[in-house]
Structure formats: structure tokens, C-alpha cells
Structure 1
């Protein structure tokens, strides 16, 4: 299993998030192609309600302690409650309405 999948599975299991993004940003750094060393995590969960930012980050770091010990070089954390996420970003964007783009019949 790759590191990104491991991060996703652990955070999903532990936090039961309303929203989770795990982005491998290693390509933006001076590392070999295909590296998994630099990540950004956006985590939205009601479990963060009433928790200070430092405690949210400590909770994520505790879940990912094995990966942080010897695999991850940098981890950017963006942690929100459902209400914070909703007020800042309005939740997930809606998909655009369908404009009737059904399959077209070819004319022979």
C-alpha cells in the first residue's frame, strides 16, 4: 500500500470525516519522481468541535505517528469542524446542471 492510501485509510477510520483530501505535494519539492514525502491534508470532522487548533493537529499526528516517524517529511494540516468548513467554503460545490448532452446519433 502506498503512503497516501495509508494516510487516507487511517484518517477515515479514526475521524469519520465529512470531508477528507489527502494531496501528495512531493512533486513540488526536490525529491525523486514518484516520491511520497510531502502531503497536504484537509480534514473536516465534528470531532474537532471545541478543540483548539494545536489539539486537532496533535490528534492527526498521533494517528499518523508511524508514517511521520520515517516516511513523511512534511505534513500540512488544514483541520475544520463542519460549521467552520461550511462558513468558510460553503461545503462542497454543486455539480453543474446537465444541459442535455445526451449521446448524439451519427448521420451516415
Structure 2
């Protein structure tokens, strides 16, 4: 599995997101980027960041699912994070 965490030191939320997505989908590719700094001052942004993320994920687990079903499945896998302060997610998900 190719895994890219696009930050110098993974945050706690980044690590949790990585762990949740890896457990749920066994991705071949996973790139997680904390994009919170670009959203400072916007709704849902917190001073410490960890609120806005970009995720690229490629997994065979998405076989047979529509784009909407894939997005719902990923969002459900991250529900605990949304409940605890994750505000926004840009998602690019696909089959290998």
C-alpha cells in the first residue's frame, strides 16, 4: 500500500483518519492533507487546525459502489472525527 501523509508531523486527527480509513478500506493509495490553514477565519475553522482535510484514496473496497455511495461510506467511517471537530472534507476516491 502506498501511503502519503502530507505534513511534517502527522497530527493526532491525521493519524486517526489514516487508521480509520486503512482499517475500513485497505487502500492501495492514501494521501491525507490538513488544509485547515487555508480556511482560517471560515466557518468551522479552529485556531489549532485539524478541521479541514483533503483526502485521496484508492481502494478495491469501492468496487460496485456509485460515487455517492463511496462518499457516504467514507464519511460514515470518519463519523467520530466529524463528531469531534472535523468540519470539512474534500474527497477524491476511486478504484485502482
Place the TM-score, normalised by the shorter chain, in its bin: 0.7 to 0.9
Matched, 1:57 2:71: yes
Partner of 1:89: none
Distance 1:32 1:76 in 2: 17
Choose 1 or 2 for highest CA Rg: 1
Distance 2:23 2:64 in 1: 21
Q: Runs of 5+ in structure 2 lacking a partner?
A: 1-10
Report matched runs for 1:29-40 at 5 Å: 29-30=39-40, 31=45, 34-40=48-54
Moved runs in structure 1, 4+ residues, more than 4 A? none
Task: Select the structure with the greater relative contact order (CA < 8 A; seq sep ≥ 6).
Answer: 2
Distance 1:12 1:72 in 2: 18
Contact 1:20 1:41 in 2 (8 A): yes
Structure 1 residue 8: deviation in Å?
A: 0.4
Partner of 1:23: 33
**Which one has the bigger strand percentage?**
2
Contact 1:41 1:76 in 2 (8 A): yes
